[in-house]
Structure 1
Amino acid sequence: MSSSDIHGSQSGGIPFAHAGETNLTGKILIAMPGMADPRFERSVVLICAHTDEGAMGLVLNRPLPEIDFGDLLEQLGIDSDGSARPIEVRFGGPVEPGRGFVLHNVPEHGNDPEGRLRIGRTLAMTTTRDILEELANGHGPASAVLALGYAGWGPGQLEDEMLQNGWLTGDGAEELIFSTAHSDKWQTALRAQGIDPSLLSAAAGHA
């Protein structure tokens, strides 16, 4: 991971935009038994941006325990005064796995600086080094996780996958990100939509 992986540019083919009437930004995607891509089996994905040009999201339930946040800071040349809180590193998706995205809480009201994309009322994604420098020294947002890589969809691709019953959409992203155990995220997300995961799994087994 190089020092250019987390930066202020909102480019690289990621469709950053404000939410529209048919926009899924801020929603979660819950992988269904019809999911054809094994990389996303039983995954829960936060949609961070969704436009006519495509969609970008971060997987929420794939931890990377072998990657240490402190080691990443050292690789990026970011000094720490030793007061850094443990920040969890997760697999965000298969696209650009060397690029980092920090998901974190934000005040409901206030301006968003360059490099920060507000996803919900109190949830944002930041791509600049500044936030890592703050976290390295015990400052910054109270809740934060670092995702490496992202999931990307071209124009109409996500909509097609949803029509093929690959994904179910839902709400409740913040609790899933910061509070729910990884092993429980998929089941918790389904239950929040009124679906019994055991019945869904049984139905898939008899498909």
Structure 2
Amino acid sequence: MTEQEPAETPDDLSPRHRSYRGRLLVATPLLGAGPFFRSVVAVLDHDAGGALGVILNQPLDAAVSDVLPEWSSLVASPSAVFSGGPVSADSALAIGVMTSTGVEPPDGWREMYDRVGLVDLDLPAAGTHAGLRGVRVFAGYAGWSPGQLEEEIAEGSWVVADGFAEDLLSPNPEALWRDVLRRQGGDLAMLSTFPDDPQMN
């Protein structure tokens, strides 16, 4: 991901055709319960046809070693399969982070942005580690139809923030929602202290 810049709020959005590829979507309390509650989503693709991303902070009970054993040595800790989103939750996709730009990518690599790309799980894992800092395996993904993501951002459901490639491989994904908000500073850092249940505040 790119160098950190101030996060965006609905008041300072660019025109609707702006792409949020490579940015983080941080769920606000407006989303409430559901698959995106306190989620942090990495936007992998976004154009006039809609948007695609994966939730970074929802590890599942399933271990990669149980479902894709040959890939387990490449997976960053925690070595769980993550819930990537509610779309096609019965299928798996892998996101990889390269060690640096300019490194020869592995076979089957599909670059999404910067050092982040899709890894082809149908290819043998042997030899794929070259140039890869780590891999995360997701069950399903998050998808938005044309204009839907822009509408959700405008209504305040998401904070758009810059992030880092390392966010995809965070060793403590459960803390990612608060961590990303805290590093934005100001009112967004305060949002990180919002209780899970406001009635318990």
Fold shared, TM-score > 0.5 on shorter chain: yes
CA RMSD of aligned residues (A): 2.8
What is the CA distance between 1:199 and its match in structure 2?
6.5
- Does residue 1:25 correspond to 2:13, yes or no? no
| Structure 2 SS opposite 1:39 | coil
- Does residue 1:85 correspond to 2:73, yes or no? yes
C-alpha spacing 1:43/1:197, structure 2 compared with 1 (3 Å): farther
State the distance in 1 between where 2:22 and 2:47 align: 13
Corresponding residue of 2:4: none
Corresponding residue of 2:122: 129
State the distance in 1 between where 2:190 and 2:58 align: 19
> How many residues end up aligned between the 2 structures?
174
Contact 1:104 1:143 in 2 (8 A): yes
| Structure 1 SS opposite 2:51 | strand
1:55 to 51, 72, 87: 51
The 5 A counterparts of 1:1-207 are 22-35=18-31, 38-65=34-61, 67-73=62-68, 80=70, 84-85=72-73, 87=75, 88=79, 89-106=81-98, 107-109=100-102, 115-130=108-123, 133-134=124-125, 139-140=129-130, 141-194=132-185, 195-197=188-190, 201=194, 205=198
Identity, % of aligned pairs? 28
C-alpha spacing 1:113/1:144, structure 2 compared with 1 (3 Å): closer
- Residue ranges of structure 2 left out of the alignment (5+ in a row): 1-16
Instruction: Give the TM-score of the pair, scaled to structure 2.
Output: 0.74
C-alpha spacing 1:26/1:198, structure 2 compared with 1 (3 Å): closer
Instruction: Give the TM-score of the pair, scaled to structure 1.
Output: 0.72
After the TM superposition, which segments of 4 or more aligned residues of structure 1 sit over 4 Å from their partners?
110-115, 197-200
| Larger relative strand fraction | 2
- Residue ranges of structure 1 left out of the alignment (5+ in a row): 1-20, 75-79
State the distance in 1 between where 2:74 and 2:63 align: 9
State the distance in 1 between where 2:33 and 2:85 align: 12
What is the CA distance between 1:197 and its match in structure 2?
4.2
| Structure 2 SS opposite 1:64 | strand
State the distance in 1 between where 2:145 and 2:33 align: 15
